[in-house]
Structure 1
């Protein structure tokens, strides 16, 4: 039996299922929550557990209020500082190796495998790209940190989305790239009739150019009769906003389906590549980086990703599914990325076998 340190991939390149180190969730009680019972507060904040489950956690001594362990439910006071010390939990096996597509010492782009989460969340803590990068580059010592530190992701890909993931070592480059990958192209601004601002915009170094990037994905959609000939395009401009969801509280969905509330303008360009008996092979270029944008937009025009358990035709979310549920095939295939020095980087990564073109070659 081989002794392998925790968090190290096995010989197959997979990180085996194992317990993590646990985590502390910290919250502060606001005016609107005054007088709420602690168990009700947690059941509303973390919807994966009901009040009875939170009562059991109280009895087990997992919850502290203002630094003191609680053993019984009680009403809350404004300003109470709560800490739930979640014990270690099992994270399932994930692929833990990837090809490096580009590395200039600061910018670091990988071909992320399907099945590997990018950042902690949704029950994932250590089986993520971020944790693996931190572990690997810290282990490399000074040689691995010579160019400014650990490369960290500057955007998200869904757990089951494969392909180009952009990371950067320096905080300055990460801030600039994060804004860039969320902002619109000039064509997008014209199409949606207004400016789209990023929450990261204020952190962008003002002496660096503000130019657009271009992200193109490949995907399989359900075998619906798209009103396109191979090679033809369709622009999708369905707004994306939050709507209620029984498991999560709120979820991003097609705002036209959700009705009411604040919406974010979004634009995607769908190109039909092949009609297959069991699916349509498509390319999708996005001009905005909204949460679950491709999954929502394709569903909004009646062509959801093949096997997507979450987004239904029209763009609504299935009430019994979560964003991390898999079954679909989506790949970040090409990226045109402006660089701070005025140059431009064009990257491409091979598609999985299911997404390779068979008949259409423009």
Structure 2
């Protein structure tokens, strides 16, 4: 997707200070490393602004993306993602119903053919017990695997879809998308897993981020970006969004 940096920056900025820039990224734009199209870091550089991505979200995912303006802040923030101390929350609309009110997906990931991320075990070996999905060590494939944990809370159910608030405890590539698809609830519009129909976008949104930010007073960076109207399309009729997001925020911050 081609875009103008000044226009994107002005329309999508969530938070900015001397050290960081947080954007509410539209679906369809890459953060960095795009081989065949423009990406945020490249287009910003061409416009004279150097930015360092603190983390990445997939091109097909919308929502919060945090970029550092200097390497000092970049190092402080990326360490929190690497140590899994950054608090992240996503919203996802998945196909079908039947998910519990709360769940934990503890399925290790591996990389298969054509660099595709998959569960490191045969699909038939996935077990579910009391809202926890897992595989036994004996069922793991003979390949390198990466322990991965995703927590979710059910926010809203319709006759055909479910809205989830999701916390990726680990931050593996495609983790949320693969985990939900392999337990039988692919994200609506996901080009990797949703083969049922064509959707203009993937309904996964980076919603909240909380990190330590020693240069700020108080020394915390708390970010939230509501989804744009196109995210809500599968939920018909459209919900009362302010109340729904407040409900989701309450649920995801309530201990089990």
TM-score range, shorter chain: 0.7 to 0.9
- Flag the structure with more relative contact order, 1 or 2, with Cα contacts below 8 A and sequence separation at least 6: 2
Q: 2:74 maps to what in 1?
A: 174
Taking the TM superposition and a 5 Å limit, the aligned residue runs for 1:1-362 are 9=4, 98-124=11-37, 127-136=38-47, 138=48, 150-184=50-84, 212-226=85-99, 228=100, 232-244=101-113, 249-257=114-122, 259-311=141-193, 327-341=201-215, 343-353=219-229, 354-355=231-232, 357-358=239-240, 361=247, 362=250
Please report how far the alpha carbon of residue 97 of structure 1 lies from its aligned counterpart in structure 2 after TM superposition: 6.1
CA distance in 2, matches of 1:155, 1:163: 12
RMSD: 2.8
Q: 1:301-321: CA deviations, max 9, x gaps?
A: 211101223137xxxxx9xxx
Q: 1:152-193: CA deviations, max 9, x gaps?
A: 212111112111101002123223322322332xxxxxxxxx
CA contact (8 A) 2:88 2:210 kept: yes
Query: Aligned in 2, Cα 1:182/1:296: closer, same or farther, shift over 3 Å?
Result: farther
Runs of 4 or more, structure 1, over 3 Å off, are 95-98, 354-360
SS in 1 for 2:192: coil
SS in 1 for 2:36: coil
Query: Aligned in 2, Cα 1:251/1:169: closer, same or farther, shift over 3 Å?
Result: same
Please report how far the alpha carbon of residue 116 of structure 1 lies from its aligned counterpart in structure 2 after TM superposition: 0.8
TM-score, L = length of structure 2: 0.74
CA distance in 2, matches of 1:303, 1:240: 17
Give the number of equivalent residue pairs: 215
CA contact (8 A) 1:268 1:286 kept: yes
CA distance in 2, matches of 1:330, 1:238: 20
Query: Aligned in 2, Cα 1:163/1:10: closer, same or farther, shift over 3 Å?
Result: closer
**Structure 2 stretches of 5 or more lacking a match?**
123-139, 233-237, 251-256
Please report how far the alpha carbon of residue 283 of structure 1 lies from its aligned counterpart in structure 2 after TM superposition: 0.7
SS in 1 for 2:206: strand
CA contact (8 A) 2:52 2:67 kept: yes
